[in-house]
Structure 1
Amino acid sequence: MEERRPHRWDGPPWWNHRAEEEEGAGHPRPPWRSTLMLTAFVLLGSGFAARGQPERERLDALAYALLAGGALLLLWRRRWPRPVLCATAASALVYFGAGYPYGPIFLTVALACFGAVVAGYRRTAWTVLGALWAVHLLAGHWLHPWLPPAGDPAAAWGEEVATAAWVVAVLAVSELARVRREQGDRDRAERRRAAGRRADEERLRIARELHDVLAHSISVINVQAGVGLALLDSDPEQARSALSTIKAASKEALGEVRQVLDTLRTPGDAPRAPAPGLDRLPELVEQAAGAGLSVAVERRGGGGDLSPGTDLAAFRIVQEALTNVVRHSGSRHARVRVDRTRAALRLRVDDDGPATGAEAGGSGNGLAGMRERAAALGGTIEAGPRDDGGFRVLAVLPLRTAPGARKPSALAKPENRSKPEKEDR
């Protein structure tokens, strides 16, 4: 059974470029202007063609009714392409069978066929045009003695070849338009899917950024709040220091969250503040010290500026790793090693453990976020317990891409080579 494509043909002609804007909500607006122009052309063209065919029947009221009716049927070629095609073909057959002069009436059949093919009714179009040619062949060679005009001889076989070529040309042009329409639909669908993927990746990036900003700052606030509560009565000065650390951490977190949200409000504008990078490692060390964690930083390799994406990813990976130490490790000392070569940036964060085993209130997305950041740059993350105790996070971020290498998707997750210890770890 023939099926109609899920979309309809709604491309307005070049002289009716506003037809699409004027369509109603339910059905396409009839193309009045183009159809009236075509009707006038068919009527005038048929009258002009009749002057050169005196042997054919003269145009009368029936002839003009068939000419005008077949052309006006094209008003509904977009809404009902199959009935319009059949009706225009029938009017052309009656016109030809009545012996009227040849003329542009067959143009209405060609346009109706074009609309049917583009709308997806290919079988109907091929069948109708094939039947039209077969009836023309039958009437021109076998039925002409009984058809007007009287004494009309048999048609020349050259005319049949020309008619067949006309039929093939109409179908070929219609099929080409259909293929181009379907290709355009596929391209538009692919663009919509690509836009959806970009939106998903952007939402993931923003969620990851917010997680890294808030998790680190709130971990510091949580530790200092506990210190302040414990020392509120016995050591008010130390409690005051803890509250000052909470104020500073919350202020910085609000600033970074505001920066992320500003990029949402004004997409495409340059951020008001530079994205954090490894040059802010001393700030991370200071914040960790405020949470009771001593951090030793070791740098190896050459200097030079990193790309903004690599610099931000490296900073967030170290930040999340230190946040996990504060949350989950009983050790109050951590080591950060930054090793840069010409090919890669290696980040290693170690703590001596052991894991506290206490509920830290994390979301469980810390390691996943680090893996996604590394994968977006073509890098890897290894995280897990060390053989001698403690925990290690090792990140490798390439600094240059080999020719022909394929950039991994930001959603790709490298294989987890070590069993995570708890929650984010």
Structure 2
Amino acid sequence: MTTTGGPRPRGAWWWEAAITATAFALCLLGGVVQVDGTLAPPPAAAYFIAVVSCAVLPWRHRAPLAAMAATTACGVLVPLLGLFLSPLIVAPTVITAYSLTARTERRAASAVVLASVALLVAATPLLGALSWQDASRMGAVVAFPLVAGVLGRSAQHRRAYLAAVEERARQAERSRDSEARRRVAEERVRIARELHDLVAHQITLANAQATVAAHLFDSRPAQTRKSLHELVETTGDALDELRATVGLLRQSGDAPAEPAPGLSQLPTLLESFRRAGLEVSVHQDGTARPLPPGIDLTAYRIIQEALTNVTKHARTGSASVRLVWHSDRVSITVTDDGRGTANVSMVPDRPPGYGLIGMRERATAVGGQLCAGTRPEGGFLVSTQLPLPPVKDTTRRTDEATGDAP
């Protein structure tokens, strides 16, 4: 039999003593009533029943079924010893019935019913001519253990319910902590990706412009002055973007956010690369459509990072950006014809980079995909497919409004 309760706390000894003393007093009080209905001091048999049945009460938590059987046996012996079987003298049986059903999960109800039947059978031969008073008294003897069993089962169900509620609360707390940690990790990756794209782009352009200025410093002062002027503009733009990004991170959740860059700012982005010496051509096929903010930012950042890698590693002065608009997706391809590699992780003597990793993470985050690699004819290719929201059928809606729909 499976029990749901453990050992009693050490500080509960006084509670056990009080229960045992009360049960002992009730047994003796039940022995005061004689079989003929008169009152007399409890005989020695009453003391025997009280001592034996109450002695097993402290063990009802560790062995509830054995304690129940022992107190029921004492109740069965009551009529055999010439005592009157009353509800008071079977008080230990009532207590063990409650403990049995409150602390066990299986066969507890059957044990309580059997105990009540045993008490009824033991008392039946002594009834003789059954009066209403005797019948009600015997009904109480049988009913008390049953009622105690029902109360014990109710207490067990209540404890199980409270334990389930507490467990659900703990699970919810753990889930909240796990969700909070997951969101913090995602936000950390997002911030790192944004700062990487921002810093890598601007620092690459600044490095290219500074290289040009250093190379032309002696031979072409005018061109050097122009390159330095463009370097100042580039570093100024970098500081502004970095300041805006840090300011965005400092804002509260209700503060208005700065608009994120998108394909509408593509001409400005390409112009910054042209100032650094990289000629970028753009080709578009299909009808351009407004993009959701997340996909718009992803497309912008992928083009920005791909061109930044071309500037850093491809050792070429030109690159090509191609956008193909489909009904359900937009394809973006960035190619170059350089002799180097656009993946910093492939360059010897350089630490691994996160450019391609960040681009793939961005594409995957919006439900797209990205591939990158060396082209057979030379150079490097970055291609991504980003999903587009479905186009609303405005033609059908207009026909229905005018009544021309079939």
- For these two proteins, the number of residue pairs brought into alignment is 303
Question: Among 79, 83, 107, which residue is 2:10 paired with?
Answer: 83
Q: Is 2:358 the partner of 1:369?
A: yes
Question: Among 66, 71, 96, which residue is 2:23 paired with?
Answer: 96
Residues in 2 aligned to 1:359 and 1:226: alpha-carbon distance in whole angstroms = 21
Amino acid at match of 2:281: A
Q: Is the 8 A contact 1:220 1:249 kept in 2?
A: yes
- Once the two structures are TM-superposed, the CA of residue 134 in structure 1 deviates from its matched residue by 5.8
After the TM superposition, which of the residue ranges 245-254 and 390-399 deviates more from structure 2? 245-254
**Unaligned 5+ residue runs, structure 1?**
1-79, 103-123, 402-425
Q: Is 2:251 the partner of 1:266?
A: yes
Question: What is the correspondence of 1:16-415 to structure 2 with a 5 Å cutoff?
Answer: 82-84=9-11, 87-99=14-26, 127=62, 137=72, 140-142=75-77, 156-355=141-340, 364-400=353-389
Q: Is the 8 A contact 2:8 2:61 kept in 1?
A: no
- Once the two structures are TM-superposed, the CA of residue 135 in structure 1 deviates from its matched residue by 6.6
Amino acid at match of 1:251: G
Residues in 2 aligned to 1:125 and 1:293: alpha-carbon distance in whole angstroms = 88
- Once the two structures are TM-superposed, the CA of residue 379 in structure 1 deviates from its matched residue by 0.6
- Once the two structures are TM-superposed, the CA of residue 220 in structure 1 deviates from its matched residue by 0.4
Indicate the SS of the match to 1:98.
helix
In the other structure, the counterpart of 1:66 is none
After the TM superposition, which of the residue ranges 266-275 and 83-92 deviates more from structure 2? 83-92
TM-score (norm 1): 0.64
- Once the two structures are TM-superposed, the CA of residue 93 in structure 1 deviates from its matched residue by 2.6
Indicate the SS of the match to 1:353.
coil
Q: Is the 8 A contact 2:78 2:85 kept in 1?
A: no
- C-alpha distance 241-152 of structure 1, shift in aligned 2 (>3 A): closer
More helix by share: 2
- Once the two structures are TM-superposed, the CA of residue 166 in structure 1 deviates from its matched residue by 1.5
Residues in 1 aligned to 2:198 and 2:149: alpha-carbon distance in whole angstroms = 73
Amino acid at match of 1:304: R
Amino acid at match of 1:173: R
- Once the two structures are TM-superposed, the CA of residue 351 in structure 1 deviates from its matched residue by 0.2
Residues in 2 aligned to 1:326 and 1:127: alpha-carbon distance in whole angstroms = 79
Superposition CA RMSD, Å: 3.4
In the other structure, the counterpart of 2:95 is none
Residues in 1 aligned to 2:238 and 2:301: alpha-carbon distance in whole angstroms = 13
Residues in 2 aligned to 1:233 and 1:94: alpha-carbon distance in whole angstroms = 110
Amino acid at match of 1:94: A
Residues in 2 aligned to 1:200 and 1:290: alpha-carbon distance in whole angstroms = 37
In the other structure, the counterpart of 2:121 is none
**Unaligned 5+ residue runs, structure 2?**
1-6, 30-58, 91-139, 391-406
- C-alpha distance 205-360 of structure 1, shift in aligned 2 (>3 A): farther
Amino acid at match of 2:203: I
In the other structure, the counterpart of 2:115 is none
Q: Is the 8 A contact 1:299 1:337 kept in 2?
A: yes
Amino acid at match of 2:268: E
Q: Deviations over 1:188-234 (max 9, x none)?
A: 10111011101100110010000000101000011111111122222
After the TM superposition, which of the residue ranges 146-155 and 231-240 deviates more from structure 2? 146-155
After the TM superposition, which of the residue ranges 209-218 and 238-247 deviates more from structure 2? 238-247
Identity across the alignment (%): 36
Residues in 2 aligned to 1:151 and 1:206: alpha-carbon distance in whole angstroms = 76
- Once the two structures are TM-superposed, the CA of residue 360 in structure 1 deviates from its matched residue by 9.2
After the TM superposition, which of the residue ranges 86-95 and 370-379 deviates more from structure 2? 86-95
Q: Is the 8 A contact 1:329 1:355 kept in 2?
A: yes
Indicate the SS of the match to 1:99.
helix
Between structure 1 and structure 2, the one with the greater Rg is: 2
